[in-house]
Structure 1
Amino acid sequence: MEKNKILVQRAAIIGSGTDDLTNMFLSLSLSSIIVDLGISNTQAGSISTITNFGMLLGGLIFGYLADKYGTLKLFKITLLLFSLATASMFFATNMTTIYVLRFLAGIGTGGEYGIAISLLAKVTPASKMGKMSAYNGVAGMVGNIFAALLASIILPTLGWNYLFLLGLLPLLIVAWVHFNVTDDVLEKSLESHGTVEKTEKPSYGELFKTPKLARQTVSLMFMAIVQIGGYFGLMNWLPQIMQQSLGLSVSGSSLWMISTILGMSLGMLFFGRILDNFGPRFSYGLFLLASASAVFLFTLVKNEFAMLLGGALVGFFVNGMFAGYGAIVSKLYPRHVHSMANNLVINVGRAIGGFSSIIIGFLMDVGNVTTVMTYLSFSYLASFVVMMTIKEFAKTRYHQTPENVKI
């Protein structure tokens, strides 16, 4: 039984890693697509927007289906969908095809996140969920690094179409899960821990059924919007901002990416630990206030070394918090709506937070670096205020009521 649980944990974490791996292919190949198809920057940017809306739709649909019919089954389907849609980009020769395929890939990716977190929550003790959620987040960072390495080899030699063929890699996870982890064995494993059968039917209405729950759900979505908006601002604009203001050649280089992703990964691991030990209010309070300070202090960077160090530090706080959402959502809501709750919170954050790049671009046009950093800083302070209104965050530990649902 324990072996089966470990396999589920590994499958969920590796699946999330391949999710980020294949999504990063788009960012890394976008300049090549622009040149190859002769499209404008606006058209290129719309590809990411369409992908984000696909994620929102996929999160809503697959979150419901997973909680109703079983997370393990739908986990394999979402991996299969975004894998085939990504690999099919090999045949794309026009923008219409790209839009359709990226929308489908977004649907699969958006569905996968919440299902993977739900699987982790079902086989992980509540007291260790922060740490496990951190591992899940770090897997995504590792996926980004592998994507960058693969792109550096394939793009100059074979072109962007061949890079997307590697979207078939998640099929290996599907095969592994299919042949090594079974629904009936996992259900028996849960029963052996004193769980009982529950018959609740999943419904998005349950996330808003009382004023308290509605405020909690909306508050978490707001925090996720700020979280993901800050991430896009950091990864998409900060190197360019520093290059324009200071003329630092390191901006946009692989060295910048590695230092920032390393900071993010360490931040996630640290955040997961303190979340398990001190609870969400202390953990998010510390990181939100630190993020508000760190992004503003980044304007003091004057040389390349300071930029690398500052990027790692900002990444540590700004994206370290991402590791906590899967853990706290899984603890705040009943198991039979885990996939829906996780997907709703994160994918609303992705869909709306993704517009952060547009907002920052506008602020750069009408203001300066200080204007942008002030905007980001106040965003984190606003998230801190909203976080403090979530009364359940005051609890240092959550108790998960034993339940047995379809896995």
Structure 2
Amino acid sequence: MDYQRKTVVASVAGLTLEGMDIMFISFAMSMIVAHFHIDLATGGLISSITNLGMLAGGVIFGVLADKFGRVRIFTYTIILFAIGTALTGLAQNIEQVYIFRFIAGLGAGGEYGIGMALVAEAWPKNKQGRASSYVSVGAQYGVILAALLSAIILPTLGWRALFFVGVLPVIFAFIVRKNLDESPEWLETQKKKKSPEKVEKGKLTQLFETPRATITTISLAIMATVQIAGYNGLMIWLPSMLQKSQGLSVSSSALWTISTAVGMIVGMLTFGQIMDRLGAKRAFGIFLLASASAVFFYSFAQGSVGVLVGGAIVGFFSNGMFAGYGALISSFYPVEVRSTATNTIFNFGRAVGGLSPILVGYILQNYDMKVAMAYLAVLYVLSFTIMLNLKKSPSKVVENYIERSVS
């Protein structure tokens, strides 16, 4: 049990630091735009480039973690995004900001899937849902931590000092490396291989080894994309939607953001329990259909109470599912390719789903809030349809492929 707790603590802390790092850009964006005299579109590219770095880092470090071990590569990813964040504070032009944020993205993208693989391999199957939910809440802790640090540092020391804080995760990386042992399940797979150097493991091509494996990998990638697209579409645009449609002040929309975030945290912890008790398909089915209904009917909410309560309900269902993706993706792939699969699939969702605010912004500019919310509802229905067709055969296919490569 002690090792199980250690994997959760390490993964939660890693995702918290990652969430903090990513949110630094959001809080410092106006200062960066003003400092480098750039327009908003040029500033917006910072997040897009970070997402691309996450996708690349997810693939690269996922493969490395499957080949050389979880803990070693996990610490390297933390150090890398810490360095990228600290270097951002030294940037002399916007081009350097892009480069340093891509570096930070590489580390952040690698950290998520490796942490989830560690948890999946340490916890029994009937408790992986709740363990995954504990880790996923870390991202929300990171948002809160970034908000507190930004409120303290930005007004007095400026945006550069905020990013210098990003070097602190290096200390955490050394603590993890010293106190967390390698995954026993991963170590066991190494002992079973008579000629480990000949085993084809941790290769990206293994996710597409057969038609069934390809369909499953693509399906999971679409589900992850919908998850990120829904979250970004809601959190980036809903405050301004409500200011316009309900006449809310900025402070009131901030209160909405807090109520929605609280709903998300409760939703994550609840989803993990439901997933362990009812299984992944039922849990995702309930939350996907509930999310589609909640976001659609939320466009008809009236009054401050309706907006706040409705926001919490939307957050509960729409982001509660985030807690299950680590366990869901891990369950489809064996140890030999688990980090590669989790990192590649989820970070693909981050990169593509991160573009959702562009489409939502276009809809709001040309139509209204009801159409925008209907678009998000359709996304959740699409994810629900794809989820119904998921089957567990790909992992067996990959395992057979590995056995053939050994013999």
TM-score (norm 2): 0.91
In the other structure, the counterpart of 1:197 is 192
| Equivalent position of 1:206 in the other structure | 206
3-state DSSP of counterpart to 2:270 = helix
Q: Deviations along 1:95-126, whole A, 9 cap, x unmatched?
A: 01100000000011011111111111121111
Please tell me whether the aligned partners of residues 239 and 257 of structure 2 are also in contact (alpha carbons under 8 angstroms): no
| In 2, Cα distance between equivalents of 1:238 and 1:361 | 10
CA contact (8 A) 1:151 1:163 kept: yes
Which residue identity lines up with residue 197 of structure 1 in the other structure?
Answer: K
- Give SS of 2:137's match: helix
- Contact 2:243–2:253, Cα closer than 8 Å, also in 1: no
> Does the 8 Å contact 1:265/1:320 carry over to 2?
yes
Q: RMSD of aligned C-alpha atoms?
A: 2.2
Give the Cα–Cα distance (whole angstroms) in 2 for the partners of residues 67 and 12 of structure 1: 17
Taking only the aligned residue pairs, the percentage that are identical comes to 45
Cα distance change, pair 177–292 in 1 and its aligned pair in 2 (3 A) = same
Instruction: State the 1:251 CA deviation.
Output: 6.1
Task: Flag the 1:384–1:92 CA change in 2: closer, same or farther, 3 A.
Answer: same
Tell me if structure 2 keeps the 8 A contact 1:78–1:109. Answer: yes
Q: Which amino acid aligns with 2:268?
A: M
Length, aligned pairs only: 391
Pair 188,324 (structure 1): closer, same or farther in 2 beyond 3 Å: closer
Q: How does 1:246-395 map to 2 (within 5 A)?
A: 246-250=246-250, 253-392=253-392
CA distance 1:285–1:125, shift in 2 (3 Å): same
How far apart are the structure 1 equivalents of 2:224 and 2:177?
32
In 2, distance between residues paired with 1:209 and 1:189?
Answer: 21
Q: Read off the aligned partner of 1:129 and give its amino acid letter.
A: Q
Please state how far the C-alpha of 1:333 moved relative to its aligned partner.
Answer: 0.7
How far 1:322 moved relative to its partner?
0.8
| Aligned 1:68-87 pairs, distance under 5 A | 68-87=67-86
Q: For 2:339 and 2:349, how far apart are their aligned partners in 1?
A: 15
1:366 is displaced (CA, Å) by 1.5
Structure 1 contact 60–344 (Cα < 8 Å) conserved: yes
Structure 1 residue 316 displacement after superposition: 0.7
CA contact (8 A) 1:239 1:251 kept: no
Task: State the SS of the aligned residue for 2:98.
Answer: helix
Question: Judging changes above 3 Å, is the alpha-carbon distance between structure 1 residues 348 and 281 closer, same or farther for their aligned structure 2 residues?
Answer: same
| Deviation sequence 1:45-82 (CA, Å, 0-9, x none) | 11100000010011111111110111111000000000
Unaligned runs of 5+ in 2: 394-398, 403-407
Other-structure match for 2:130? 131
Counterpart Cα distance in 1 of 2:265 and 2:107: 24
Residue identity in the other structure for 2:310: G
Secondary structure of the 1:300 match is coil
Contact 1:63 1:111 in 2 (8 A): yes
User: How far apart are residue 195 of structure 1 and its match?
Assistant: 9.8
Tell me what 1:171 maps to: 170
Counterpart of 1:114?
Answer: 113
Distance between the aligned counterparts of 1:189 and 1:70, measured in 2? 7
Cα offsets for 1:238-294 (capped at 9, x unmatched): 111111112111567542332111111111111111111111111111111111111
Q: Which residue of 2 aligns with 1:51?
A: 50
Shift of 1:178: 2.1
| CA distance in 2: counterparts of 1:195 and 1:165, whole angstroms | 39
For 1:188 and 1:128, locate their aligned partners in 2 and report how far apart those are by CA, in whole Å: 16
- Relative to structure 1, the CA distance from residue 57 to residue 15 in structure 2 (aligned partners, 3 Å threshold; closer, same or farther) is same
CA positional deviation for 1:5: 4.2
Q: Does 1:99 align with 2:98?
A: yes
Identify if the C-alpha distance between structure 1 residues 93 and 5 changes in structure 2 by more than 3 Å, giving closer, same or farther: same
Distance in 2 (alpha carbons) for counterparts of 1:32 and 1:142: 24
In the superposition, relative to structure 1, how do residues 167 and 313 fare at CA in structure 2: closer, same or farther (>3 Å)?
same
Q: What amino acid is the match of 1:132?
A: A
Distance 1:223 1:240, change over 3 A: same
Q: In structure 1, what is the Cα distance between the partners aligned to 2:228 and 2:62?
A: 20
Alpha-carbon contact 1:240-1:251 (below 8 Å) kept: no
Distance 1:4 1:222 in 2: 33
